Chain A
Amino acid sequence: MIARPPSMFSLILLPTLQCDADCEYCFEKKGAPPLPPGQLPEIFAKIFAFMDERNTHELHVHWQGGEILTLSPAWLEQARELIQQTADSHRKQVKHFLQSNLIGYSPDWQPVITGMFGKSIGSSVDYPNRHRKVKGGAVKNFNTIWLGKANAARNNGNHLGVIAIPSADTIEAGGETFYDHFTRVLGISDFQLNTPFAGGSSNTVKNGYPLDPERLGAFFTELVDVWIERGYSKGVRIGPFDQLLACFLDEPYVLPCIWHRNCTDHFICIHPEGHLAQCDCWVASYPEYRFGNIFEDDSLSAILEASPARKRFLIRPSEIIQNQDCIDCDFLGICHGGCPIRAYSFRGNLYDKDPYCPTYLAVFRHMSKVAARLAKGAGVGEREATVLNIDENLGQLVDQVLEGG
């Protein structure tokens, strides 16, 4: 019998919703007490049993908040040990990933960041900053504070990957200015842009969402051109454009969750009080879309299978494919109607497609052209280049032709 290849499942774990920042676009409803670490073995035993039923062997734990660094290093050390013991008894592999605003970073955290997270930190910063601030602080001071902490973390040998949320002012600043600020002023060579959405309770900032999808698409494509010209060959990575480029160049790629064929296939989120939901965008602010509570049943599968809310997520792609125009899109294979929270938060309809569809379409088209150009220019091969000149995709077939011939 052929052996099953290794497979993976992701858990977005929110051990706390306490946060030392107060960002105006935050979608989370704060206030729940932190998760007691003593509950972790029960949680993870259920997760691993669920993975057994799916023949899944590796778990990626994405530690998010709230803010993880409002806990203590000792809390994380204990959590790591408890999770590893549970994983060992279930013969599972676990990898941990940290998302932090870095405000609470100090050298005290370094042993945990080294041992648990492999000296890798995911953080967030915007340019120009319009909405991020330290709790009780001012928007204008945030980036200075963040940069100080980021530099301290980098000086201790940590790799920083950064998520940026564009605003109307980001678009106004333009791709070149944005790129220069991130790479030269902030010294970041690995960053990703996410589209903003009006999740959770409303306010004047969120009322300005979505950003104009066409203008945002134009900003993204300009940013891509600057990146390709100045940073691509020097190792600068900008997500999701780098992954799209890999996709169109027929290289291994991992697209962000907004473009997964179905969120429910790959990850789940747990609230500090044990509530389950599709992801961190839902679990704290949309109780009606929770799948249940992990402490309410011995079987995670039983909870999920009985959940009407999860059924809505399960059928979302098939509803979209029947009722929207995605079936006619050339990029269906890398989008599948986009992100549920963006659709729901803007239009109140889970079965609508992502309102940033025009943005994505502009980016997909642009990246496919950039890939064709790079394939030719990078000497991928005269044969491929010639074919790509006629038809971008035929290049993917050339190897088989040559083998057959």
Chain B
Amino acid sequence: MSRTTHLPAGAMLFAPVQLAEKFPGHRLVARSDDPRSFQDHLNGDAIERIEYLQLTDLDADPSPLMKWESVLPIDLVMKKPGLEFPRLYAYARLLDRGPVRVSIPAAEGMEKAVKLAASLHFSVKIIPGQPESDQTLQLIRLADFYLTNPTIAQPIEFFHSLFFAMVNNSDTTLWEILEKEPTRFCFVTDDGQTAAREPMQIPVLEIPPEKEAEILSGRTETIHLQSQAVMNWHKTCAACTYFQWCRGFFKYPAADYSCTAVFPLFEHLFTAAAALKQDLSASLPGEQS
């Protein structure tokens, strides 16, 4: 069954670079598997609305991006980290031109890819999916690597923001940290269809012809995809210690995912955050016992 997906007003769109001009009024993350295509397609109003670029093929030659005057931030999207991680050396020169992040899925080779990316001073975003227990162990090792290695200077998400949300007791959620919050981030497929981001696996829908002009012009105010519907968490979430930051994130796409696999990671970060909070409060003037 399919539903019409309208674009939330003000949402940031993850769109193919060749479609960037079709979404006036929206902030954009423009993606391509060809480094040359960014310069070819982005100019005028579109380039002013770009938040960052996503390069989805790490086998591509990064030279065109080095030669381009623009210093728009770049997100290098890995698909197979175990195979792609040595390519990061070829992309490290991009760090001389501006900010570069590497997005790495929880898949074979994740640990090596994250370590190398962070060691090369890339920002990192780990896309955890619904990790199995062995992947959670890897994530815990990587969290320790991030928190304790003195040579790492750039953030490794989602650890970084989740850790500080725990330290500061703020309500920042994994949906926001990982750019999956459906009222703020929407996905445009390569053929121009719009949908909420992929982890929810809400069907990608045909835009009805009568709605297309309205949607593509950015005038649509209606949010058909209600965040409440997307975040309609599993019953067990209500009693979860980590609900404040998770909000059912790990229940998507498979609602029957057992969170016991990911709890050790939450516990690990929570313990580290609690230790830091305790040390900070103990050292604040006038607050020592």
Contacts and interface: CB of A to CB of B under 8 A. Distances in A.
A390 B89 CA distance: 33
Contacts of B238: none
A321 B116 contact: yes
Interface string A349-390: 000000000000000000010010000000000110111001
A404 interface: yes
Interface string A60-89: 000000000000000000000000000000
B96 interface: yes
B268 interface: no
A368 to B, nearest CB: 5
A327 interface: yes
A4 B97 contact: yes
Interface residues of B, number: 44
Given A2-B70, A4-B69, A321-B86, A401 B167 contact: yes
A390 B66 contact: no
A393 B149 contact: yes
B98 A331 contact: no
B279 interface: yes
Contacts of B87: 318
Contact of A250 (B153, B167, B170): B153
A334 interface: yes
Contacts of B148: 391-394
A333 B118 CA distance: 8
A261 B89 contact: yes
B276 A394 contact: yes
A405 to B, nearest CB: 5
Contact of B164 (A4, A7, A315, A401): A401
Contact of B67 (A55, A385, A391): A55
B163 to A, nearest CB: 8
Contacts of A385: 283
B280 A394 contact: no
A247 to B, nearest CB: 7
Contact of B70 (A1, A332, A387): A1
A386 B71 CA distance: 39
Given A333-B152, A396-B150, A4 B279 contact: no
Contacts, number: 124
B200 interface: no
A27 interface: no
Interface in B65-100: 66-67, 69-72, 85-87, 89-90, 92-93, 96-98
A contact patch SS: helix
Given A401-B168, A405-B168, A382 B151 contact: no
Contact of B96 (A7, A318, A405): A7
A9 to B, nearest CB: 10
Interface of B: 47-48, 66-67, 69-72, 85-87, 89-90, 92-93, 96-98, 112, 115-116, 118-121, 147-153, 163-164, 167-168, 170, 275-276, 279-280, 282-284
Given A332-B119, A393-B149, A401-B164, 13 more contacts: A1-B72, A7-B96, A317-B89, A321-B116, A322-B86, A327-B115, A333-B119, A333-B152, A385-B283, A391-B148, A397-B164, A404-B170, A405-B167
Interface of A: 1-5, 7, 53-55, 247-248, 250, 261-262, 265, 314-315, 317-319, 321-322, 327, 330-334, 336, 368, 371, 382-383, 385-387, 390-394, 396-398, 400-402, 404-405
22 contacts: A1-B69, A1-B71, A2-B70, A4-B69, A54-B66, A265-B93, A318-B87, A332-B115, A332-B116, A332-B119, A333-B149, A333-B151, A336-B119, A386-B279, A390-B275, A392-B150, A393-B148, A394-B148, A396-B150, A396-B153, A400-B164, A405-B167
What 4 A-B pairs are tightest by C-beta distance, nearest first?
A333-B119, A318-B86, A333-B151, A332-B119
